[in-house]
Structure 1
């Protein structure tokens, strides 16, 4: 069981490392065939996420970093649930100057062992709170905050940054302490139990 926990923790950590270093083939290898991912700007098959991430990286203009905590892992046979804190940091050029957006979230993963290998079958990001900080000036201009109220408080700065880049907030976005999070946990527990 300890070996499985180590392999799963390594998998969770490698996902972030491969994504941030744009190692697309290795990132694809963290998912099983048919694996899905749901986060602020994408909801669907992992292959689509990787293709869209490649396009965003090719456009440039933003630096991205995921800091992963130590995952809580529960294992039942060849299935595992992992929940891990993640800090997502994005530096982007905006009309207000360079801005650092920091989102505090968790990744909830369903992970399976198939053919002797643990990989992700479903990843969902749960958003808790975020903030925006100026990089090249003392404060953000007043206009920077216009329209923030139309986005959920848990990720208003991230959502506004995405919106300004022409990327809509995914309707599948899960917020902390929401009914959707309760349903996600209940579905995961049932899945881990084999139901």
Structure 2
């Protein structure tokens, strides 16, 4: 098999392992998905990989329920660097104003990856948040959201952010969505990364 195809298979396996091991609470193996200088940009946590893992473990212990599902995948590979985009959904369950709800957010994982000493790892993961929705787990339940709080967040993840604020997280309010300056800047950073520059 050609070396580039082997790299592409390794990258896809890395992305899938990230989701499976993180959601299963398999923290030791989850840590192997990252390089030592890896960084995570999530709505609720922007931190070096080690701190993100610690925060995820703490949330897991408190009953925070966040799951990831993966879809289509594309990777641009340039030598020992790559940008991978993977369709995903983030599903989170929690109480909002006393009503148990599920939020499903659809988007892409946009990953800055590098092969070091023969191993691909995540250097930076920046999700792109495209659209989301919130539904009561009990379809007969009635839920009224605060429109002012909902409007504080970008359209692509406003319901996810709303839920996360209700359980105590400070949510970043300028993450990239499907369109606009933030995602265009991200694409430019991805191009620079493939050309040998910093990820920004």
Distance 2:130 2:17 in 1: 23
1:142-162 CA-partner distances (Å, limit 9, x unpaired): 3x3443122222111111111
Relative to structure 1, is the Cα distance of residues 122 and 40 closer, same or farther in structure 2, using a 3 angstrom cutoff? same
Task: Please state how far the C-alpha of 1:172 moved relative to its aligned partner.
Answer: 5.4
1:2-35 CA-partner distances (Å, limit 9, x unpaired): 1111110000011000110011111111001101
Q: TM-score, normalised by structure 1?
A: 0.93
What's the C-alpha RMSD, in Å, of the aligned pairs?
Answer: 1.5
State whether residues 89 and 104 of structure 2, in contact with CA within 8 Å, keep that contact through their aligned partners in structure 1. Answer: yes
Q: Does 1:68 align with 2:53?
A: no
Gaps of 5+ in 1: none
- 1:185 is paired with a residue whose SS is helix
Task: Please state how far the C-alpha of 1:131 moved relative to its aligned partner.
Answer: 0.2
Shift >4 Å, 4+ stretches: none
- 1:176 is paired with a residue whose SS is coil
Instruction: Work out the number of aligned pairs and report it.
Output: 193
Q: TM-score, normalised by structure 2?
A: 0.91
Distance 1:68 1:13 in 2: 7
State whether residues 87 and 103 of structure 1, in contact with CA within 8 Å, keep that contact through their aligned partners in structure 2. Answer: yes
1:131-189 CA-partner distances (Å, limit 9, x unpaired): 001112424323x3443122222111111111111101125522221212111111111
Distance 1:158 1:190 in 2: 30
State whether residues 86 and 106 of structure 1, in contact with CA within 8 Å, keep that contact through their aligned partners in structure 2. Answer: yes
Task: Name the structure 2 match of 1:148.
Answer: 150
